[in-house]
Structure 1
């Protein structure tokens, strides 16, 4: 029996900001990153000065294969400076550690939340002022 894994991704704008809505599920593979990387690269090429907010649903993420973890790290190093805020949604204890580690490698504020509404409120909190 095969296990479902991969990403679903939505890229859009809210006011003058670039927003990525992402959902990761299963155990991510190198093939998954071969699919998502060109999507992200194409999106970043469309914006002259990207300042991106990410809303990442990881509630069904089980982890990464080793090669996929390396792909994720390379992607973070290449595009991490474009990220302004990253909200990770998931209740797994290891995801809190992931949020802290991700913050070291990208130039963004990274927080982990257990609920979508909390994550979205934090992501856009300064825009209501």
Structure 2
């Protein structure tokens, strides 16, 4: 799963870079035409935002699945000293990641608004 997600991230990222580099010599005023052409009738610019966010999301899923596979391998096929060192290192890394996520989300009110709207949407469904 990790390799598939990584490959998808790389391919989509390269396609987006290529698409952007071929439009480098165009007039900046043409950007409004590009946005208008890629605006969905119902969803607006959300599909385009999802496409531009796919490489990052696939890379994150690739890292998560790789980490899970690595931990499973380390805890299944190793001795007790390896398990302890991997467990301690994993806990430190996980704590650091969670701390970074928390500090990034606390400073952004948009996340609170998004979660509130998501809760209302789910409740109304």
TM-score by length of 2: 0.25
Quick one: higher RCO (CA 8 Å, sep 6+), 1 or 2? 2
More strand by share: 1
TM-score by length of 1: 0.25
**Greater CA radius of gyration, 1 or 2?**
2
More helix by share: 2
